[in-house]
Structure 1
Amino acid sequence: MNETQHLIEYFKQSPFIIQLAWIISGVFFVSIVPLIFYLKYLRGHLRENEKIVAKYQNEYEQYLVTYLYTGNEEEEISSDQQLIINKLKKCIVEPFKRKIVISTLLKLKNEISGEMAESIQKLYFQTGLIDYTLPKLRSKKWYSLAKGIRELRQFQVKEAHDEVIIYINHPKREVRKEMQLYMVNLFYFEGLDFLNVLETPLSEWDQIQLLEVLQRFDNQKIPDIKPWLKSSNDSVVVFALKLAKIYNQFEAKDELINMLEHKNKDIRIDVIFVLSHLIVLEAKEVLKNNFDMRSQEEQIAFFKMMENLYENSDEPFLLEHIHNENFEIKLSALKILKVINSDKFNNIKLESLEPEFLRIVNFIENN
């Protein structure tokens, strides 16, 4: 008791800052102790939950293996398979078990191919799982909607096309991304039709994902990209330019040349690189004629194009720019001149007295 009174007296007589430190320490102690006990409970609960999930996964995997190997050619669904379907129908009534069934189906579907993979897909319909997924497409919760579209994509449900496409301009990027992946994974290049009405931005990451999916499919007919090159959505135009380059869409050269006057400078620069890749020589004359009116970035891009598409007739134009104020343009002009007329290049070197210019010339000669 005396010790307690002594501590109280000590606390009262202590400076305010020490009293505040003791109060804060006490608050932290009172807060931390319950959290420690809660974390221990949570860890135990998660471990128990993991055991339950593992148990059900093992059970459902056995069901699926039995389903796959008890079929026969005489019946569309054998009696043993129907027994498995009935068991799974009872399981999926509970959301917790339904989630495990779906993850188990997907896991097995990703590990097998051919007829067995098709059997798993059929089982998705036979168990009625589709009836739990389709209502998600009408959900007001964006994450539930996105999850529903993803599941339809994973199980290759093409029949939901009309219900999915309506979310093309959904305010949530996650929903739009799932819609786009659904269209391309299931309908390949035809699925890109959504670009015709896309109003929202197609991010760089979205474009990379779509291109990655498209490049998995061989011998697919490439759609006409010309309407997308004229889109009012700049991100659609950028994506169409990538398609033009990757799939060598030379037939779109006239539209690409016209796009050298596009209002977006970054798109104009991209167009120059695509025209260079496609070796469209006509574009050179267009760019030469209004070279001085273009931004410095476009001028640099044009000289990069010239390095790929140079001709002997380009010599007068090159001579105009060997003393350009921009280092990259000056370097490109001299590099090309050395290739198409080495004598002229050497004469220029001998005539020049400017040290910096001579350093550039010597660099080109030695590289």
Structure 2
Amino acid sequence: MNGNLYFLEFLKHSSPIIQLAWSLSCVFLIIIAMLIMYLKYLRNHLSENEKIKVKYQEDYESSLVTYLYSGNEDGSFSSEQQLIINELKKCVADPFKRKIIISTLLKLRSEISGEIAESIDKLFIKLGLLHYSLAKLRNKKWDIIAIGIRELTQFKIKGVHKIIINNINHPKREVRKEMQLYLVHLYAFKGLDFLNILETSLSEWDQIQLLEVLQLNNDTQIADIRPWLKSSNDSVVIFTLKLAKVYNQFEVKEELIELLNHNSEDIRVNVISALSHLNIVEAKNIVKNNFNERSHEEQIAFLKMMENVYESSDKPFLLEHIHHKNFEIKLLVMEILKNINFEEYTLYEIELKKMLTA
């Protein structure tokens, strides 16, 4: 007690700066104590919520499994199924429970296939969950819109593509990506029609994902890619060139050759790669005639193409570029010359050693 009185007396006669420092220390100490208490409460609250979530998930999963295996043989709803639907519909009205129901449906859908998986898609609509997913598309927050589109994709909800395609040029890439994946997942090559009106850029990652989805699909009817090769959107053209390679679209060779004079260097490089993959030898002489006017990237791509389509008559052209200032181009030229005439390779090898020691 005397110690406290002594401290208060000391503080009373201290300078204003010391008094302020002690006052701030007390305030910060109180704030820290309140934050510790709040964090403890929050941790307990989250722990309780997680327990509740697990409990609901187990209950919903049990009900859904029962639903899936208790239908009538004629495909109509049994009384037991209808009872489960009625109970789940009550739960759907609660946002917390609705989120758990959707995640449980998705979990079950990932574990099964065939007619049972289709039953889950139908149940998604039957429970009124489609209404909530569509409502997300009208939300002002981009992440909510993306979630809504993803749900429609996961439950294979067709017939709403005209609504979803409104997001084709959405300012957020994540929303555009979900829109594109929805169309390709559900409509395969026909879903690529969005490329006709796409104004924004298709990132490299977007292109990879779209190609993966297409290859997982069993649709054998490949779309006519010619219009996309003439698109004013460079990323659409580059993606279409990848389609030409993956699906061996030899019939578009005229359009590919025309693109050798495209304004974009990136497109010209990708065109040369596609022409090489499709083994369109007509393009070789076209590029040879204006080889010096092309960028180093194009020249490298062309020489890699020549590795597959070289002829003895190409030797004079190659010898013209054996002293090219770009080292990679020199190596490619020498490698092709070696393949054309191995016996003369010793001479080129001497030249290579000179380059390496220069």
Counterpart residue number, 2:324:
324
Residue 51 of structure 2 aligns with an amino acid whose one-letter code is K
User: Which residue is 2:235 aligned to?
Assistant: 235
Structure-2 change in CA distance of 1:114 and 1:22 (3 Å): same
Counterpart residue type for residue 330 of structure 1: K
Separation in 2 of the partners of 1:217 and 1:207? Answer: 16
The residue number in structure 2 matching 1:356 is: 354
Q: Does 1:148 align with 2:160?
A: no
Counterpart Cα distance in 1 of 2:155 and 2:54: 23
Cα displacement string for residues 21-71 of structure 1 (whole angstroms, at most 9, x for unaligned residues) = 766654542322111111100010011111111111111112112211211
Measured on the aligned residues, the alpha-carbon RMSD in Å equals 2.5
Deviates more, 1:146-155 or 1:180-189: 146-155
How many matched pairs?
357
**Other-structure match for 2:301:** 301
- 1:169-227 Cα distance to aligned partner (Å, 9 max, x none): 12222221111111011111111110110001111221121111111123522111111
- TM-score in terms of structure 2 length: 0.91
The SS at the match of 1:170 is coil
Most deviating of 206-215 and 123-132: 123-132
In 1: Cα distance, 2:348 partner to 2:46 partner: 77
The answer to whether the Cα contact below 8 Å between 1:189 and 1:220 also exists between their aligned partners in 2 is no
Q: Secondary structure at the match of 1:198?
A: coil
Is the Cα–Cα contact under 8 Å of residues 145 and 175 in structure 1 kept in the other structure? yes
* TM-score normalised according to structure 1 size: 0.89
Deviation, structure 1 residue 10: 7.1
Aligned-residue sequence identity (percent) comes to 63
After superposition, the C-alpha distances for 1:281-337 in whole angstroms (9 at most, x for unaligned) are: 111111111111111221122222222221111100011111111111111111111
Q: Is structure 2 residue 91 aligned with structure 1 residue 120?
A: no
Give the aligned partner of residue 130 of structure 1: 130
Contact 2:71–2:81 under 8 Å retained in 1:
yes
Q: Give the corresponding residue for 1:345.
A: 345
Distance 2:276 2:23 in 1: 72
CA distance in 1, matches of 2:318, 2:75: 77
- Could you tell me whether the CA contact under 8 Å between 2:188 and 2:219 is conserved in 1? no
Q: Supply the AA of the counterpart residue of 1:328.
A: E
**Cα displacement (A) at 1:358:** 7.5
CA contact (8 A) 2:153 2:182 kept: yes
Deviation at 1:346, TM superposition (A): 3.2
The one-letter amino acid of 2:221's match is: K
CA separation of 1:213 and 1:25: change in aligned 2, threshold 3 A: farther
The DSSP-based 3-state class of the residue aligned with 2:325 is coil
Match of residue 215 from structure 1: 215
2:248 aligns with 248
The letter of the residue matching 1:280 is I
Counterpart for residue 68 of structure 2: 68
Map of 2:174 onto structure 1: 174
Q: Specify whether residues 295 and 73 from structure 1 end up closer, same or farther in structure 2 by C-alpha distance, changes over 3 A only.
A: same
In structure 1, the partner of 2:200 is 200
The one-letter code of the counterpart of 1:47 is: S
Q: Which residue of 2 aligns with 1:269?
A: 269
Say which SS state the counterpart of residue 248 (structure 1) adopts.
Answer: coil
Alpha-carbon contact 1:142-1:175 (below 8 Å) kept: yes
Corresponding letter in the other structure for 1:192: L
Amino acid corresponding to residue 100 of structure 2 in structure 1:
I
In the alignment, what sits opposite 2:286? 286
Q: Secondary structure at the match of 1:215?
A: helix
Could you tell me which residue of structure 1 aligns to residue 87 of structure 2? 87
Distance across 2 between alignment mates of 1:20 and 1:341: 90
Question: SS in structure 2 opposite 1:159?
Answer: coil
Aligned residue for 1:200, secondary structure, equals coil
CA distance 1:316–1:94, shift in 2 (3 Å): same
Q: Tell me the distance in 2 between the aligned counterparts of 1:204 and 1:349.
A: 39
